[in-house]
């Protein structure tokens, strides 16, 4: 496959555009996604190509946006509904968790709900406590809901296409830091010109190693890749596993990695208590305890709201330096 270099935003836009061309039932709506092309330009020029019946601006109401998406999906469309910030998904928690995730089960499979809720969290952009939360763990308690969190342009495009084609509701979480931070591994990268899909529920080993496994999610994959490079200077070969899909989680790839390396760090942006890392660590302890030669280390956001100050926010976040420090403690 021939590759081009695209940004995370460009790859998402291309994925949406391709699916809308392929299937007339795909519609896109949310706050400012049409006329302005989206606050982050992920939906840039979609209105121009597909018109106002398929690309629609909505009122500032997450309840209305997700409720409309459920109704559209039940009536044969494949809506992609955007919530501007992940924090505000809490306003639509009832629609997502109580209704969307359960309808297929409660109907005995008679109805399907092919909808995507796109959203992003802006940790790393000094947006303050109410615009930075990575709340994936809160939605892991909703069986029937799939949760996707891509870390690279290639993954973003392949997974948004797979999510749109899926017959179950998908919560598609993007990283606002990857929209804008040119220094991040996931800001820009190779994307095949030919059409491709990335399956939901499959993790990827982004870097091979045999001394320690670093399982990471979304923005933190960039930090893990940087840490792995730094660790190589100390003679430590770190393996980086990108979950890509949080639910259903690819436990097998994680266990196979830990079996090779015998050590595990789980690094991600949830608050540590009951975060995504807790689920990964618990599963490895339950099913791969004999592989471990050292305690598992979880690196997360601390149990406090994110600070507004950019400098304090950097101290709050999981960074490559924190991963390197943890890895050097484990590999002795």
The CATH class that applies to domain 3-192 reads alpha beta
- C-alpha distances (whole Å) from 21 to each of 18, 53, 54, 158 are 5, 14, 11, 15
| Active-site pick, 10, 62, 174, 313 | 62
List the chain residues with pLDDT less than 70. 1
pTM above 0.85, yes or no: yes
Domain ranges in the chain are 3-192, 204-330
CB atoms under 10 Å from CB of 153, counted, come to 26
Return the pLDDT at 1.
Answer: 57
Contact assessment for residue 241 and residue 105, using Cβ atoms and an 8 Å cutoff = no
CATH architecture observed for domain 204-330: 3-Layer(aba) Sandwich (3.40)
Q: pLDDT by residue (tens digit) across 184-226? A: 999 999 999 999 999 999 999 999 999 999 999 999 999 999 9
Based on the residue annotation, tell me whether 62 is a catalytic residue of this protein.
yes
**Closest by Cα among 192, 245, 220, 204 to 319:** 220
CA atoms within 13 A on the CB side of 297: 21
- C-alpha distances (whole Å) from 296 to each of 162, 244, 263, 317 are 32, 20, 7, 19
Give the integer Cα–Cα distance in Å for 152 and 105. 32
**Closest by Cα among 91, 77, 78, 154 to 119:** 91
Return the pLDDT at 93.
Answer: 96
Return the pLDDT at 332.
Answer: 77
Residue 2 backbone zone (phi > 0: left; psi -120 to 50: alpha; other: beta): beta
Return the pLDDT at 87.
Answer: 96
| Active-site pick, 19, 82, 131, 239 | 131
Q: pLDDT by residue (tens digit) across 139-171? A: 999 999 999 999 999 999 999 999 999 999 999
Give the integer Cα–Cα distance in Å for 116 and 19. 12
Give the integer Cα–Cα distance in Å for 45 and 57. 13
Give the β-pairing of 188-192 and 3-7. Answer: antiparallel
Cis peptide leading into residue 248 (ω within 30°): yes
């Amino acid at each position: 496959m021939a590759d081009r270099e695209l940004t995370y935003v460009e790859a998402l836009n291309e994925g949406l555009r391709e699916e809308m061309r392929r299937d007339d039932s795909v519609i896109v709506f949310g706050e400012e996604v049409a006329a302005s092309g989206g606050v982050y330009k992920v939906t840039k020029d979609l209105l121009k190509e597909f018109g106002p019946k398929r690309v629609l601006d909505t009122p500032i109401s997450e309840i209305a946006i997700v409720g409309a998406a459920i109704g559209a999906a039940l009536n044969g469309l494949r809506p992609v509904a955007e919530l501007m910030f992940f924090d505000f998904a809490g306003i639509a928690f009832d629609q997502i968790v109580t209704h969307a995730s359960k309808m297929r089960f409660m109907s005995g499979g008679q109805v399907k709900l092919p909808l995507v809720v796109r959203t992003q969290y802006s940790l790393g952009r000094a947006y303050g406590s109410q615009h930075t939360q990575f709340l994936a763990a809160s939605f892991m308690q909703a069986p029937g809901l799939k949760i996707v969190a891509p870390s690279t342009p290639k993954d973003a495009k392949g997974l948004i296409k797979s999510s749109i084609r899926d017959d179950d509701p998908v919560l598609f979480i993007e990283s606002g830091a990857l929209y804008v931070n040119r220094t991040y591994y996931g800001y820009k990268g190779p994307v095949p010109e030919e059409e491709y899909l990335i399956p939901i529920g499959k993790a990827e080993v982004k870097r091979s190693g045999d001394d320690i496994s670093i399982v990471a999610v979304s923005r933190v994959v960039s930090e893990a890749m940087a840490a792995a490079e730094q660790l190589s200077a100390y003679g430590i070969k770190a393996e980086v596993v990108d979950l890509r899909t949080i639910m259903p989680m690819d436990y097998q790839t994680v266990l196979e990695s830990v079996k090779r390396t015998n050590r595990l760090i789980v690094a991600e942006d949830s608050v540590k208590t009951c975060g995504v890392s807790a689920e990964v660590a618990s599963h490895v302890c339950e099913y791969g305890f004999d592989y471990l030669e050292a305690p598992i280390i979880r690196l997360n956001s601390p149990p406090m709201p994110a600070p507004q100050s950019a400098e304090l926010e950097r101290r709050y976040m999981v960074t490559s330096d924190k991963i390197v420090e943890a890895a050097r403690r484990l590999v002795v």
